[in-house]
Amino acid sequence: MTNSVLAKFPMLANRIGEVAEVAGYLWQKGWAERNGGNITVNISDIADDSLRNLPPLVAGIPIGRPLSNIGGQLFYCKGTNKRMRDLSRAPMQHGSIVRIATDGLSYDIIADYPVKPTSEMASHMSIHDYLLGKGSSYKAVLHTHPIDLVAMTHHREFLQKDVLSRLLWSMIPETRAFCPRGVGIVPYALPGSFALADATIRELSDYDVVLWEKHGVCAVGENIMEAFDMVDTLSKSAQIYLTAKGMGFVPEGMTDAQMEEMKVAFHLPK
């Protein structure tokens, strides 16, 4: 720890501590088998020049497409093939800090060790590029494999636009309040591909959480805790639905009038 950048930068230690906390939750929830899931967080706002200018441990790894909006930005990224349960104990051994080149074409790994970033680097960095491009203050991208929500994407009807948003919102008032933009749907695409990245970005203009058909969830937020909380709330709704079905009935759900009342009372966007 004493040689870690975390020892020199308390604000960075706080932000990466939050990532480690969430990584532990993902494992405890059964959403992060083996190396499943990824987290990346933009840390540029808390980096000073001494962090920004660290010499590369590995230089010039190509991203595969130009992402000019994130040129010069710094990110903490979970390592590829690393386990969330290990990251939760030792975030700098199972993830690393990367610096995107100013032309947005490649990145350097700068701390603490040359841990190669996530296999979903293409989608994560494309999403950060999109977020910065539209002036968003969101810094966190979370990808995880919640059992209940992924199961729901195996049903054709649930993949229709906003069917799941409505269903999940109607299970408990909190879901609409704390996940007010609902949940978008991305048809199946190869993990780690630019096709998956681009389809995700299309949905992110309307939603903060998107379901990747037969794979997982991708959520964006101001910070990693906020992204996690939205997925957790949606998963709670899915659990209520599945529990009712397990008891042999289809849950009634809140009525349209009750949902509208929530929308007005909480000043919700949709």
Would you please indicate which residues are annotated as catalytic (active-site) residues? Answer: 120
Q: Which is nearer to ligand 2HA, 82 or 176 (CB)?
A: 82
Q: Where does residue 81 fall: left (phi above 0), alpha (psi -120 to 50 degrees), or beta otherwise?
A: left
DSSP state letter for 117: B
CA pair distance 10, 28, nearest whole angstrom: 27
63 three-class SS: coil
**Contact in structure between 233 and 239 (CB atoms under 8 Å):** no
Q: Which is nearer to ligand 2HA, 13 or 224 (CB)?
A: 224
- Smallest gap from Cβ 41 to ligand 2HA, in A, equals 16
Task: Give the one entry of ligand 2HA, Zn ion, none that residue 119 binds, where binding means its C-beta sits below a cut-off of 5 to 8 angstroms depending on kind.
Answer: ligand 2HA
Q: Which is nearer to ligand 2HA, 5 or 227 (CB)?
A: 227
- Smallest gap from Cβ 82 to ligand 2HA, in A, equals 8
**Contact in structure between 214 and 189 (CB atoms under 8 Å):** no
* 200 lies in the site for ligand 2HA, by CB under 6 A: no
Task: Give the one entry of Zn ion, ligand 2HA, none that residue 38 binds, where binding means its C-beta sits below a cut-off of 5 to 8 angstroms depending on kind.
Answer: ligand 2HA
Q: Which stretch binds Zn ion (CB under 5 A): 64-72, 215-223, 243-251, 254-262?
A: 215-223
In the stretch 97-136, what mask flags binding to ligand 2HA with x, by CB under 6 A? ---------------------xxx----------------
C-alpha distance from residue 133 to each of 71, 130, 149 (Å):
11, 5, 29
Q: Which is nearer to ligand 2HA, 85 or 166 (CB)?
A: 85
> What are the DSSP calls for 7-53, one per residue?
HH-HHHHHHHHHHHHHHHHHHHTT---TT--EEEEE-GGG--HHHHT
* 216 lies in the site for Zn ion, by CB under 5 A: yes
Based on its alpha-carbon atoms, the radius of gyration of the chain, rounded to whole angstroms, reads 19
* 35 lies in the site for ligand 2HA, by CB under 6 A: yes
Residue numbers of the site for ligand 2HA (CB under 6 A)?
Answer: 35-38, 118-120, 143, 191
